[in-house]
Amino acid sequence: MITVLAAALAVGALALVLLIRPHHLPPPEPASPTAHLEQRRKTVYDNLRDLQFEYRLGKLSDADYQEAKKLLQQELAQLTAAIEGKRASAHLQGPKASAPNAAAGGAPPSTPPTQSAGNRCPHCGALFAQPLKFCGECGRPMLGGDS
């Protein structure tokens, strides 16, 4: 009697395990905030190349080519600005630059390794939550990179 019960329990447990299959599938990898923008930019690049190709073949008039090229280049500039903006905001939302281990992390090659240096004054060493052009302590320029 007890063995039958135990067997029934075992079968039931087995059925449970088979029915409730754990979902070990990882959630879809969160695309980087700029992934779709970069994809779009690549498409625009391709369009530009195709456009030049067709123009060389004589399929497009000069005016049509210039107009289409201008539109594509405008979109390219907008996409580039959007990508740069998203990257900048991602940096601002990142972990606070309290630990000086920015160089130790496996930062993607696209991000400049000096990103956290912008928060620290190279002259007096004052640390700020946001990258500043001029130090709030000593007033000297924080970064000589982009002028």
CB of 143 to Zn ion, least distance (A): 12
CB of 91 to Zn ion, least distance (A): 21
Question: What residue has token string 């135990």?
Answer: 6
Residues 116 and 130 sit within 8 Å (Cβ to Cβ): no
Of the two residues 51 and 121, which places its CB atom closer to Zn ion in the complex? Answer: 121
CB of 133 to Zn ion, least distance (A): 12
- CB burial readout 19-57, b (16+ within 10 A) else e: eeeeeeeeeeeeeeebeebeebbeebeebbeebeeebee
Per-residue binding letters, 85-124, with Zn ion (x by CB under 5 A): ------------------------------------x-xx
Exposed, middle or buried, 116 (CB in 10 Å: 0-12/13-18/19+)? buried
d(CA 34, CA 72): 19
In 3-state terms, the chain is what percent helix, strand and coil (to 5)?
Answer: 50, 5, 45
Residues 25-84 contacting Zn ion, CB under 5 A: none
CB of 114 to Zn ion, least distance (A): 16
Of the two residues 77 and 129, which places its CB atom closer to Zn ion in the complex? Answer: 129
Nearest to 125 by CA among 115, 116, 138: 138
Residues 117-146 contacting Zn ion, CB under 5 A: 121, 123-124, 126, 135, 137-138
Of the two residues 77 and 138, which places its CB atom closer to Zn ion in the complex? Answer: 138
CB of 113 to Zn ion, least distance (A): 21
Q: Give the count of residues interacting with Zn ion (CB under 5 A).
A: 7
Per CB under 5 A, residues contacting Zn ion are 121, 123-124, 126, 135, 137-138
